[in-house]
Structure 1
Amino acid sequence: MFDAPPDTNFMGPWVPRNVTWMEMACYFSGALLISALTTWWILKRGGRIGLDEPDSRRKLHERAIPRLGGAPIFLATGLACLVAGYIGGLGWSRWLPVAICNALIFSVGFADDLKALGAKVKLIGQIGTAMILYSLGVSIDMLSNPFGEGSIALGWWGVPLTLMWLISIPNIVNLIDGMDGLAGGFGLFLCLTLAFLGHLGQQPDVVVVSLAMAGALAGFLIFNLPPAKIFLGDGGAYLIGFFIASVSLFTANKGSVIGALLVVVIALGVPILDTLFAIIRRGMRGVSIFNADAEHIHHRLILLGYSKGRALAAMYSVCLVLSLVGLSILATKGVALPVAGSFLFLLALGAARYLGYVRSWKNFRAQINDVLERRRQREFFRAYGRVLDFEVERCADLDSFSTILSHGLQRMGLSARAQGGTSPEVLRINNTMQCVIHHPKDDNDAGEWHLRLDVLIPVLERCLEKWNALPDCIEKPASSPPPKATA
């Protein structure tokens, strides 16, 4: 049983009550049941909205799969928390700011699942939601040493620190949501970690809401484990990340919130490491950090010969170990911090080498030079793509542009027809038409050629807008849609 001292909430005084183990089991299992039944209903009754279509590049599932998994998680967690507040007497009112903002961030992601909003619109929604939560009093105002004496008043620095925390965690969770069961499983482990932090802090309401979310995720995972029948979507990923970020601010008093944040950061070690690798990788390649690719940790594990199930089990195991490491730091009052820091540093180096991000430490400089050379080639393709885009405007008819495009493809080392020593690449145009461009067979991987050839898509889209046709020099695929790749 848990018993906590009186506290103050958003709407007035809050007097907690004891919560039995049986009640906590009921909240967890109730959320699990509601989530599982709602997910089953979506799969049975779902129509043609919110479908994630395969693209033969990154999305290798064989059929369109709904990405509305955030809805049952949101519904199950909300109902469980309402029951805990009204019937269980846990004082729902102090959670009102968190509930409102979690609903807002879920709405932003869910709207994107139904119809793409664009990265800028979603970022504005995330910033706005985080600012609303900060204005309602959920913030990081003071950091004190959770392992000893002393504290630091953040002043106005509390604003960017709180916003960064509330925005980064949802995006980190969304970034790793590229494999069946991965983001949902990580969310489950992290919610159980938050429940344990609530137990240590004698906060029964934190325990209950965390177990409610954990139960909702467990019910969803029944249908999301490989092979997935439904995906989280941005709505689900944003909800999980924002829930973890906002509830972690409740797991300790304002002065010692750093202890809870430290545990969450360590438990998020795998997603944070994956995000760090992605930022470095995309930055060196000269592409946007929001540009999706197929080189995340789970992709690398599959390339190393892991099945989806084994790769998922390996990442779950690491997440569990890191959660225990974070809790051990808190439990030992910081004694284990140097050991944990060394372990995390060695884990990052070992992962970079094992997963192939670093082919050899001895030849690391040569690998960097190779990456920079590829970046220069990609910049040339981008520049020439803009030239061809301007040529569409200048040409009076499609035949004239077709001649210019043929010459441009030659300058880029490409061809519109199959030749000896070339490989075909299918480009999707406006999600309705396709064409084939042939590139040289070389040491570059498929992802590298995807990045280079994607600059031609806007050019061909402009052709369709202006002449309602593609240049005659462009080859159309023999069948449409192209054959689906398999994992």
Structure 2
Amino acid sequence: MIDPAPNDIHMGPWAPRNVPWVEMTGYFCGALVVAALGTWWVLKRGGSIGLDEPDTRRKLHGKAIPRLGGAPIFLAVGLASLVAGYIGGLGWSRWLPVAICNALIFSVGFVDDLKPLGARVKLIGQIGTALILYALGVSIDMLSNPFGEGAVELGWWSLPLTLIWLVSIPNIVNLIDGMDGLAGGFGLFLCLTLAIIGHHGYQPDVVVVALAMAGALGGFLVFNLPPAKIFLGDGGAYLIGFFIASVSLFTSNKGSVIGALLVIIIALGVPILDTLFAIIRRGMRGLPIFQADAEHIHHRLILLGYSKGRALAVLYTVCLILSVAGLSILLTKGIALPVAGTFFFLLALWAARYLGYVKSWSTLRAQLDAVMEKRRQREFFRAYGRVLDFEVERCEDLEAFCQQLRHGLTRMKLNAGFQTNHHAEALRLPCGRLCMLYRPQDKTEAAEWQVRLDVFIPALERCLEKWGALPDFLEQSSNPPIST
């Protein structure tokens, strides 16, 4: 891995000048103040738009909280970039593709925060934005040797690898945005890491934009640390992830992947592990990969008795250690890569055991068998849910459907009325109506029963659409019931 010389980078009429550290500090502080003021304004004037309503499962905050935190971050970074480009004397024309595509990816998430678009629409928007950036010339064209000279031309592989890089990181950041201050804090550490990479590569423009984003995230975190008054939302999470992915490509010389991208991969160790655990967990259980659950790393730490503040401090510390480990790869010209890779692998094994994803290595086979049995039970419920959905179309009246629903509940060992040794579970329909079902008291976790019971929602929703009413034997309420 060869560091580019200062006079070999960004030559031409738009070459960036050297920027004093005092001025760079100004960009950081300016973005911090703008983001903090903008977040305060959203909290005061945001009203009822973009609110994240609590539920009885994953979202346990006490009241509705705005999820428009990405807007003041976007505003702060945009203003800092304009100041640096037109007043600071930096050549920003080459950053136009990155600016356009970061605005596009933020827009996709921000619209979803206002009105849910669905996972498929958002994925199309992410891929489309990545394709635009690739078409505008920002891509991974070659893989350089991290231990010395030489590189491999990617050819047609450049397109899929660039798309994977630009799409995966925003989704990884969004996946960990489930606890106050987590995604924003990780983004701040990663942006500071990018600034160090830019300084190491003699790229003052990279340092400026990275510090601007770090400052904006710092201003937002004033209101996002536990207990959070505002959330990032998909707009903020996508913006952070795409910013890191796109700017990290600019830290590579002439489109080649050098130590900079390896640094980012190692620094993203916690969210990458969380994503891998989620994919494995949901795949084994037969759940959609993008279906949210309450078993992320931060959820597990809370279950282990950590407070939100302590869990956040632990995750920040791990992120900081991994960032330093990643930077060691760059500073040692690849010599530290085997050590960093081994550390990451051992961290994954330790985390799987400590967090309870693996209860015991000696009983791993039995644990896998139990998971597969739960998957078979869930598939049975899912199949019966589809049957009930079809029954709504086949039945001539509500009474006929009620008979089919009672039969289905019996087959699934459920009751619509209170029974001893049973637990009450609430089903919230999209219209806001709540229905009560009673499940047997067994060793199955409550979260697993919630997943199983969700299969009734489509049929009950269609029942409302067709007959304007629900079966009268289902206990209904406008407020969440209390489990018995």
Give the shorter-chain TM-score range.
over 0.9
Structure 1 pair 209–52 and aligned structure 2 pair: CA distance change class (3 A): same
Unmatched segments (≥5 aa) in structure 1: none
SS at match of 1:363: helix
Q: Does 1:351 align with 2:351?
A: yes
Amino acid at match of 2:19: V
- Looking at structure 1, the residues matched to 97 and 255 of structure 2 have their Cα atoms a distance apart, in angstroms, of 20
- Contact 2:259/2:334 (8 A) holds in 1: no
Amino acid at match of 1:199: H
Q: Following TM superposition, by how much is the alpha carbon of 1:445 offset from its aligned partner in structure 2, in angstroms?
A: 1.1
SS at match of 2:435: strand
Q: Following TM superposition, by how much is the alpha carbon of 1:5 offset from its aligned partner in structure 2, in angstroms?
A: 2.7
Match of 1:342 in 2: 342
- Contact 2:140/2:256 (8 A) holds in 1: no
Match of 1:273 in 2: 273
- Looking at structure 2, the residues matched to 13 and 436 of structure 1 have their Cα atoms a distance apart, in angstroms, of 69
Q: Following TM superposition, by how much is the alpha carbon of 1:143 offset from its aligned partner in structure 2, in angstroms?
A: 1.3
Match of 1:29 in 2: 29
Q: Does 1:480 align with 2:479?
A: yes
Structure 1 segment 63-462 matched on structure 2, within 5 A: 63-254=63-254, 256-462=256-462
- Looking at structure 1, the residues matched to 434 and 123 of structure 2 have their Cα atoms a distance apart, in angstroms, of 31
- Looking at structure 1, the residues matched to 23 and 123 of structure 2 have their Cα atoms a distance apart, in angstroms, of 38
Q: Following TM superposition, by how much is the alpha carbon of 1:145 offset from its aligned partner in structure 2, in angstroms?
A: 1.2
- Looking at structure 2, the residues matched to 147 and 327 of structure 1 have their Cα atoms a distance apart, in angstroms, of 15
- Looking at structure 2, the residues matched to 8 and 339 of structure 1 have their Cα atoms a distance apart, in angstroms, of 33
- Contact 1:6/1:14 (8 A) holds in 2: no
Match of 2:7 in 1: 5
Q: Percent identity among equivalent residues?
A: 76
Q: Following TM superposition, by how much is the alpha carbon of 1:180 offset from its aligned partner in structure 2, in angstroms?
A: 0.3
Q: How many residues align?
A: 479
Q: Following TM superposition, by how much is the alpha carbon of 1:15 offset from its aligned partner in structure 2, in angstroms?
A: 2.1
Q: Deviation digits for residues 330-389 of structure 1, max 9, x if unmatched?
A: 111222222211111111000000000000111000000000000000000010011111
- Contact 2:14/2:92 (8 A) holds in 1: no
- Looking at structure 1, the residues matched to 482 and 106 of structure 2 have their Cα atoms a distance apart, in angstroms, of 35
Runs of 4+ in 1 over 6 A off after TM superposition: none
Q: Deviation digits for residues 54-99 of structure 1, max 9, x if unmatched?
A: 0110000000000000000000000001100000011111100000
SS at match of 2:295: coil
- Looking at structure 2, the residues matched to 48 and 4 of structure 1 have their Cα atoms a distance apart, in angstroms, of 51
Amino acid at match of 1:67: R
Q: Following TM superposition, by how much is the alpha carbon of 1:398 offset from its aligned partner in structure 2, in angstroms?
A: 0.8
- Contact 1:109/1:234 (8 A) holds in 2: yes
Amino acid at match of 2:442: D
Unmatched segments (≥5 aa) in structure 2: none
RMSD over equivalenced CA pairs, Å? 1.3
Q: Following TM superposition, by how much is the alpha carbon of 1:255 offset from its aligned partner in structure 2, in angstroms?
A: 5.7
Q: Following TM superposition, by how much is the alpha carbon of 1:328 offset from its aligned partner in structure 2, in angstroms?
A: 0.7
SS at match of 1:227: coil
- Contact 2:56/2:480 (8 A) holds in 1: no
Structure 1 pair 483–237 and aligned structure 2 pair: CA distance change class (3 A): farther
Structure 1 pair 476–100 and aligned structure 2 pair: CA distance change class (3 A): same
Q: Following TM superposition, by how much is the alpha carbon of 1:7 offset from its aligned partner in structure 2, in angstroms?
A: 4.4
SS at match of 2:439: strand
- Looking at structure 2, the residues matched to 441 and 229 of structure 1 have their Cα atoms a distance apart, in angstroms, of 37
- Looking at structure 2, the residues matched to 89 and 375 of structure 1 have their Cα atoms a distance apart, in angstroms, of 60
- Looking at structure 1, the residues matched to 430 and 289 of structure 2 have their Cα atoms a distance apart, in angstroms, of 23
- Contact 2:424/2:437 (8 A) holds in 1: yes
- Looking at structure 2, the residues matched to 256 and 145 of structure 1 have their Cα atoms a distance apart, in angstroms, of 10
- Looking at structure 1, the residues matched to 18 and 164 of structure 2 have their Cα atoms a distance apart, in angstroms, of 34
- Looking at structure 2, the residues matched to 115 and 4 of structure 1 have their Cα atoms a distance apart, in angstroms, of 47
- Contact 1:180/1:226 (8 A) holds in 2: yes
Q: Deviation digits for residues 36-70 of structure 1, max 9, x if unmatched?
A: 00000010111111000001100000000000000
SS at match of 2:257: helix
- Looking at structure 1, the residues matched to 431 and 7 of structure 2 have their Cα atoms a distance apart, in angstroms, of 58
Q: Deviation digits for residues 237-258 of structure 1, max 9, x if unmatched?
A: 0000000000000112036423
SS at match of 1:436: strand
- Contact 1:144/1:255 (8 A) holds in 2: no
- Looking at structure 1, the residues matched to 13 and 139 of structure 2 have their Cα atoms a distance apart, in angstroms, of 19
Q: Following TM superposition, by how much is the alpha carbon of 1:34 offset from its aligned partner in structure 2, in angstroms?
A: 0.1
- Looking at structure 1, the residues matched to 397 and 118 of structure 2 have their Cα atoms a distance apart, in angstroms, of 33
Q: TM-score, normalised by structure 2?
A: 0.97
